[in-house]
Amino acid sequence: MGGQTISEDDVAVLLRSRADPDCFAELFERYFAGLHGYASRRLDGAGGDDVAAETFLIAFRQRDRFDPARGSVRAWLYGIATNLIRSRRREEARGYLAYARAAAHPPDDPMHEERTTDRVAAAAARTRIVAALAGLPARDRDALLLVVWGELSHEETAAALGVPVGTVGSRLHRARRKIRAALDDVDPTRPTERTARHG
């Protein structure tokens, strides 16, 4: 809210908050809704609420350790949230599978038959992708979801995870092959010509 009138950049706000802790609230206003969205897609319900709230508590406590040379404030916040989610990775995987099960058996409704074949197919494909997320190694899943759901660039994702950009690229590549395989129902170890694209 009110973001249009704010001109001071994130780093300046964060640096100021070291002497004047109240300033930190500005970062909450800027990023809570977005972080909550990212966390809630990975951990629905109370889990997403907790992660989003705890991210700011951890960030506030660690604000003296933030290093602007190593990435943006946004990437740093998403990295904290991602670490919190990783500590709940079983809960996360269970959530994807439960979501896929529920989506595979939608309640009967008259609208259902009116849907176009394409839309039904796309919905089914999304369900399979969500189920496939449960089977990804945590590090690959983190990279994939920071890019696609967190809408971070590859560079920001690298900063959030504390790895080189090239590593993000290879993790994304592996993750894509696996979810592609879930769609095609083929052997995920088969090489693919698709190249990683900028997320």
Partner 1 sequence: MDELDLLATARPATPPTAETTAAARDRLFDLMNAERPAEAVPRRRNRLLGWGLVPALAAAVALLLVLTVSWGGPGGPGARGDVDLAAAGPRPPQQLRNLLLAAADRTSGDGPAGGRYWVSRVESGTLLQVGGAGNRYAIMGRTEETSWHPVRRDDRAVYLQRWAGGAPAGDADRAAWRRAGSPSSWPIDESCPATSGRYTAGAGATRTVVGKPEASTFAIGGGYLTAAQVRDLPADPVRLQAWLIDSLRRGNPNLTAAELSKGVFDSMINLLYQAPGTSAVRAAAYRLLAELPGLRDLGTVTDPKGRAGTAVTLVTNEETPGVRQADSGGPQEVRLIFDPKSGRPLAWETRVLRPADYLAWVPAGALFDYEAVLETRWTDDPPPSTTGALPEEVREPATC
Q: How many residues bind partner 1 (CB under 8 A)?
A: 46
Residue 175: both structure tokens together: 């993750």
Site stretch for partner 1 (CB under 8 A), options 64-72, 81-89, 123-131, 156-164 = 123-131
Residue bearing tokens 């609208």: 111
Answer for which of 12, 49, 68, 135 binds partner 1 (CB under 8 A) is: 49
Residues 81-110 that bind partner 1 (CB under 8 A): 96, 99
Provide, rounded to whole angstroms, the least separation between the CB of residue 103 and partner 1.
9
- Residue ranges in 20-88 assigned as alpha helix (H): 24-42, 46-61, 73-86
Biggest CA-to-CA distance, the chain: 61
Please report whether residue 52 would count as binding partner 1 according to CB under 8 A.
yes
Residue 21 interacts with partner 1 (CB under 8 A): yes or no: yes
Q: How far apart are CA 186 and CA 9, in angstroms?
A: 47
Q: Look at residues 92, 105, 13 and name the one whose alpha carbon lies nearest to residue 59.
A: 13
H-run or E-run covering 197: none
**Could you give the count of Cα atoms lying within 13 Å of 146 in the half-sphere of its Cβ?**
33
| Interface with partner 1 (CB under 8 A) | 1-2, 4-5, 20-26, 28-29, 32-33, 36-37, 40-41, 44, 48-49, 52-53, 56-57, 60-61, 96, 99, 122, 125-127, 129-130, 144, 148-149, 176, 179-180, 183, 194, 197, 199
